[in-house]
């Protein structure tokens, strides 16, 4: 069977008045709404949950991959103008279409970068690991960029002779499969935006995912669809000192999931336990210094400036000063405790 993953509101109507994005706080006698419902195979959902839990991580929820990637690489202006996000992953190629700031259409194409690797493996008669390395280092979606005499040598297995592979032939293999993927995605886009999606999706297409790192894929998508295309990087949502690897389109979904978790104020998937470590005592051989007798000084305020004649008077003055110092310490501690409590409450709410 199938299970519901997302129920995404499209628009609301109050007493026949349409195009209402947020009905909360409005008055009316009849409320209507339309939703975009995302479902998935129940067995696949359970398998994902078991995989996460078996790794020791608590599963807090599921998010459709293109929705998470969209949060990481799309701007609100693009969502308002109309944009198609294409997330080329390893196993699937995902599509999410936004218009007027709302998710309008989603689709999953059942093949992605792994199929390209398999094509290279079969076409060049090499193992999968070598095919993946060839795709990453020398692969191109546009075969016209490579010359006939450009050749890469692959080490042979178990002492066999190295194998020479033409980069032009490699690009032809990649090009054929990428064209098939893009054409299927474009058919989904046209199903939503009719025959001319350029007029409906003003912001064009945004490519992300590991497959978006393929050379010249942007130019190929523009050539097939006729729509403006850019590569989506999640770096605008990351700290300035983040590594370049995390800023890659490959991590768009991961960054989007973290952003989604923070926005929804959900608890961290991994429970962190604070370990109270006992302070370690370090002994050092320090030569003893002659100690000078220390005279205790008591500063007495004007209220206690009196004539002191007896030992009882001295004790009374000291006790009064000690009481005031103790009161001041309690006030300071109580303020600090309240400040710490506020910080703890803030962090608890942030989780």
pLDDT digits (tens, 9 = 90+) for 91-110: 999 999 999 999 999 999 99
Identify the CATH number of the domain in which residue 209 sits. Answer: 3.30.420.40
* Residues 313, 185 share a domain: no
Between 85 and 247, the more confident residue is 85
Return the closest-CA partner of residue 16 out of 38, 35, 34, 32: 32
Q: How confident is the model at residue 317 (pLDDT cuts 50, 70, 90)?
A: low
Look over the chain and give the mean of its residue pLDDT values, rounded to a whole number: 80
* Residues 39, 79 share a domain: no
Between 237 and 220, the more confident residue is 220
Q: Taking residues 271-298, report their average pLDDT.
A: 46
Residue 280: inside a domain:
no
* Residues 139, 224 share a domain: yes
Q: How confident is the model at residue 271 (pLDDT cuts 50, 70, 90)?
A: very low
pLDDT in tens, 121-175: 999 999 999 999 999 999 999 988 777 788 999 888 877 888 899 999 999 999 9
Task: Tell me what pLDDT residue 1 has.
Answer: 84
Contacts 24+ apart (CB under 8 A), 9-17: 9/33, 9/34, 9/35, 9/36, 9/102, 10/34, 10/35, 10/36, 10/102, 10/104, 11/102
Share of the chain above pLDDT 90, in %: 47
Query: Of 268, 290, 315, which residue sits at a domain end?
Result: 268
Which pTM value belongs to this model? 0.70
Share of the chain above pLDDT 70, in %: 74
* Residues 44, 114 share a domain: no
Query: Of 220, 250, 268, which residue sits at a domain end?
Result: 268
* Residues 140, 12 share a domain: no
Residue 290: inside a domain:
no
- Residue 86's domain comprises 63-268
């Amino acid at each position: 069977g199938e299970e519901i993953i997302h129920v995404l509101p499209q628009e609301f109507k109050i007493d026949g008045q349409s195009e209402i994005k947020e009905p909360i706080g409005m008055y009316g006698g009849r409320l209507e709404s339309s939703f975009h419902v995302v479902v998935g195979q129940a067995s696949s959902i359970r398998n994902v949950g078991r995989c996460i839990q078996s790794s020791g991580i608590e599963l807090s929820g599921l998010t459709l991959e293109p929705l998470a990637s969209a949060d990481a690489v799309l701007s609100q202006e693009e969502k308002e103008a109309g944009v198609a996000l294409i997330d080329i992953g390893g196993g699937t190629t995902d599509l999410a279409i936004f218009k007027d700031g709302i998710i309008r259409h989603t689709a999953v194409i059942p093949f992605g970068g792994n199929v390209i690797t398999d094509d290279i493996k079969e076409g060049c008669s090499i193992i999968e690991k070598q095919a993946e390395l060839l795709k990453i280092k020398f692969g191109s979606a546009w075969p016209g960029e490579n010359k006939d005499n450009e050749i890469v040598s692959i080490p042979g297995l178990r002492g066999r002779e190295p194998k020479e592979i033409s980069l032009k032939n490699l690009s032809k293999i990649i090009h054929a499969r990428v064209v098939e993927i893009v054409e299927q995605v474009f058919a989904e886009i046209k199903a939503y935006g009719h025959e001319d999606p350029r007029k409906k999706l003003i912001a064009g297409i945004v490519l992300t995912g590991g497959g978006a790192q393929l050379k010249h894929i942007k130019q190929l998508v523009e050539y097939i669809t006729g729509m403006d295309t850019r590569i989506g990087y999640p770096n605008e949502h990351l700290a300035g000192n983040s590594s370049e690897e995390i800023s890659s389109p490959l991590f768009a979904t991961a960054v989007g999931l973290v952003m989604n978790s923070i926005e929804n104020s959900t608890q961290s998937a991994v429970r962190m336990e604070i370990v109270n470590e006992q302070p370690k005592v370090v002994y050092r051989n320090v030569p003893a210094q002659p100690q000078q007798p220390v005279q205790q000084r008591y500063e007495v305020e004007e209220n206690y400036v009196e004539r002191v004649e007896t030992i009882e008077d001295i004790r009374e003055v000291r006790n009064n000063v000690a009481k005031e110092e103790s009161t001041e310490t309690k006030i300071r501690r109580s303020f600090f405790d309240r400040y710490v409590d506020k910080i703890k409450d803030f962090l608890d709410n942030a989780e």
